[in-house]
Structure 1
Amino acid sequence: MSPLTLSHQRLPGVTVIAVCGEMDATNRGEFEAYVAKARSSPGERLVFDLSRVPFMDSSGLHVLLTCTTDRLRHGGAVHLASAQPLPTRLFEITGVSNHVPVHDSVEDAITAARASAPERSF
């Protein structure tokens, strides 16, 4: 298993969190803590760059969904970007892709996050 590496960049109107490595129960706490630290306000827009996440289980998905619910509750949004095949399949099987925008590229996700109106429910 590859270790989890996390970084973030604040851009005008959006924070991009880059995730590298497998997301599972062994690093769920680390991922949750990093997301909490990286956010600047509850109502912000977040983009998760998943281009270097080869595998994600329900633990990683749970963190993304909790974050999404929190953002929506405060007028923000979460966008997922550049997901590899296994995480993409997980989003499809669970129906997450019907509720959380999934974009082909980080640039597309940033553009959509900046342009999107706050969602009302999740």
Structure 2
Amino acid sequence: MIEISTSPTTTTLVIAGDLDLAERDQFPEIAARVVGLRRQLVVIDMCRVTFMDSTGAAFLISLADAGRKRGGATVLRGADPRDLFVIEVCGAMDLFRIDPDHRCEDLDEASVTTNPTPTQEP
């Protein structure tokens, strides 16, 4: 799942789940939306990415390349070392800024919801 939010200067994509060949059908529409927003900064939050292959990396690279052509920048935050490795193997690390200060919230704690125990009527 990819959620897009905007501010006057930034487009933020929050990605959850796999970013791979199986998800590629949604990439063109999302890329068109992001490019159409014409924000100078694209932030890609990868805290909840569970797996990324070269197809997912190509999608991110296309976003970064489009932004760079407009004079913008693309920031990866919360990227796992394995995800960065895929981008590096693709030869595209220079298209991205890496946010070294971002710390993903503990996903185990974030996924826990407080639900009251249902009561049974006699």
| Length-normalised TM-score, structure 1 | 0.70
Task: Report percent identity of matched pairs.
Answer: 24
RMSD: 2.2
Partner of 2:89: 93
State the distance in 1 between where 2:17 and 2:66 align: 24
Higher normalized contact order (CA 8 Å, seq sep 6+, divided by chain length):
1
Q: For residues 18-61 of structure 1, give each alpha carbon's deviation from its aligned partner in whole angstroms, at most 9, with x where no partner exists.
A: 01011111111213312322444345321110111121111011
> Which structure shows the bigger proportion of residues in strand conformation?
2
2:80 corresponds to which of 78, 84, 99? 84
Gaps of 5+ in 2: 104-122
If you compute each CA radius of gyration, which structure gives the higher value, 1 or 2? 2
Matches within 5 A, 1:99-118: 99-104=95-100
Q: Which residue of 2 aligns with 1:59?
A: 55
In 2, the alpha carbon distance for the partners of 1:43 and 1:11 equals 8
| Aligned 1:38-77 pairs, distance under 5 A | 38-42=34-38, 44-77=40-73
Q: Is the 1:8–1:15 Cα contact (8 Å) retained in structure 2? A: yes
Within 5 A, what are the aligned runs for 1:31-42?
31-42=27-38
Moved over 4 A (4+): none
